[in-house]
Amino acid sequence: MNDHPFVNVHDQLRAARQSRAPQRDQARPNRMLLLSHPRLSAARSLAAEMSEQLGAWQIAVDHIASGDEQPIDFSQYDLVVALGGDGWMLRAGRITAEAGVPVLGVNLGRLGFLAEVQPDEWRSVFERVRDGDYWIEQRLMLHTDLWRGDQHVMTFEVLNEVVIGRGALVRPVRLETHIDGGLLTTYMADGLIISTPTGSTAYALAVNGPILPPDLKNILLIPVAPHLSMDRAIVLARGSSVTVVAHTEHQAVISGDGVIEEPVLDGDRIVVEASPHVARFVRVQDPSYFYRTLMARMGQNPAAQWAANPNQ
C-alpha cells in the first residue's frame, strides 16, 4: 500500500478533471421551443428558417416571440433556443431553470458572451444537437428575499447578480453585511454587488472584480466605490449565505440582473443564497470555450463601436 501523501493529491486532481469533462451523449430532442426576442425582426425570420429545418428532421417545434406577459409551460420541451442578445439569454436561463430545460443561445446582440451560436453557423450546430453531440453546462443562480421587519416584501432569482445600492442621490449607503450569520463588515459605498460566476464578467467585471469560471458554485462580493471601508472583492465558500441590512436616510434600491428593481428602506434585510435551481446551457464547444470567448471579448466596447458606426 502506497501511503505517500502526493498520491492522494494526484488522484484528487485526476478525479476533478474527469468530473469536469463534458458528457456529450445527450438524448436527441423530440420537441423544441424557439424563443425569439419580440423586438428583433431578424429573430423572427431566423426562427422561421429553423422551424423549417427542424420539421424536416421530424423534430416538433413551437415558436414564441414574447415578453414577460405570456406564461410558458417549459416542461413540455426538451430544449429551448433563445434568439437574442445576452440580456435575452439571461432571461431564458432564469425562466427555464425551474423546469430544468436546457437553453441553446443564438447571438443576435452586440456582444454574445453567453450565446453558443452565431447566426451564420446555426445549421451545423443544430445537426450536432439533433445527433446528441452536445453537453449541458450548469450555472449557479441566486435566490433573494427582501424583508421589512417581519414582512416578506419580495423574492426573486437571478443568473448574474444582485445589487444593493444608492438611488438617484449621489450619497453612499451603509450596508451591514453578514456571512453565514456572522458579521463581515459594514460597507460605506455606492453599492454592493452579490454575484454569481456568470455575473463575474458583467457588472462585477466593470468594478475590477475577479473573473470566475462559470462552472463554479461560489458567490462573489464586490463593493462599488467604497469610502473608508473594505474595498476588496471576496469569493465566498460554496453554500454560503449573505445577509445585508441596509442603513440609509435617503433613497436606496435593490436590483436583480438589471431588470428587477425595488426600493430599499432603512433597516430592510436582504438575504441572498444559492438557488435550488440552476440555469442549463447547451454547449457544443469544449469547456475551454469560456477563456477563448473571454479573450475575444476583452478590449471590445460594442457600444462605442456602434456609436462610431451606427448604420453597420
Q: pLDDT of 136-155, one tens digit each? A: 999 999 999 999 999 999 99
CA distance to 200, 220, 233, per residue, from 213 (Å)? 9, 12, 16
pLDDT at 188 over 60: yes
Higher local confidence (pLDDT), 109 or 90? 90
25 tagged catalytic: no
Task: Find, among 106, 52, 114, 40, the residue nearest to 79 by Cα.
Answer: 106
Higher pLDDT, 54 or 9: 54
Residue 92 has pLDDT above 80, yes or no: yes
83 HSE (CA, 13 A, CB side): 26
Q: How confident is the model at residue 310 (pLDDT cuts 50, 70, 90)?
A: very low
Q: CA-CA distance, 140 to 142, in Å (whole number)?
A: 7
Local structure of 11: helix, strand or coil: helix
pLDDT of residue 162: 98
Average pLDDT, the chain: 90
Distance CA 151, CA 166 (A): 22
- Reply yes or no on whether the pLDDT at 212 is more than 90: yes
Q: Work out the burial of residue 157: count CB atoms within 10 Å of its CB; fewer than 13 is exposed, 13-18 middle, 19 or more buried.
A: buried
Res 295: pLDDT: 86
Say what the pLDDT of residue 136 is: 96
Q: Which residues are bridge partners to 246 per DSSP?
A: 175
Give the residue, 6 or 102, on which the prediction is more confident.
Answer: 102
DSSP symbols for 233-244: -EEPPTT--EEE
Phi, psi (5° rounding) for residue 193?
-95, 125
Which residues are CB-contacts of 282 (< 8 A; sequence separation ≥ 6)?
79, 102, 103, 104, 105, 116, 129, 134, 135, 136, 137
- Residues 18-42, mean pLDDT to the nearest whole number: 87
Summarised one tens digit per residue, pLDDT across range 257-300 is: 999 999 999 999 999 999 999 999 999 999 888 888 888 877 66
Catalytic annotation, pick one of 86, 190, 257, 268: 86
Q: Which pLDDT score, from 0 to 100, does residue 2 have?
A: 55
* CA distances (Å), origin 251, targets 140, 166, 261, 264: 30, 6, 13, 7
What average pLDDT does the segment 32-60 reach? Answer: 95
Where is average pLDDT lowest: 42-51, 104-113, 247-256? Answer: 104-113
Would the pLDDT of 312 be above 50?
A: no
What is the set of domains in the chain, with CATH numbers?
A: 31-134+284-308 (3.40.50.10330), 141-275 (2.60.200.30)
Q: Is 218 helix (H, G, I), strand (E, B) or coil?
A: coil
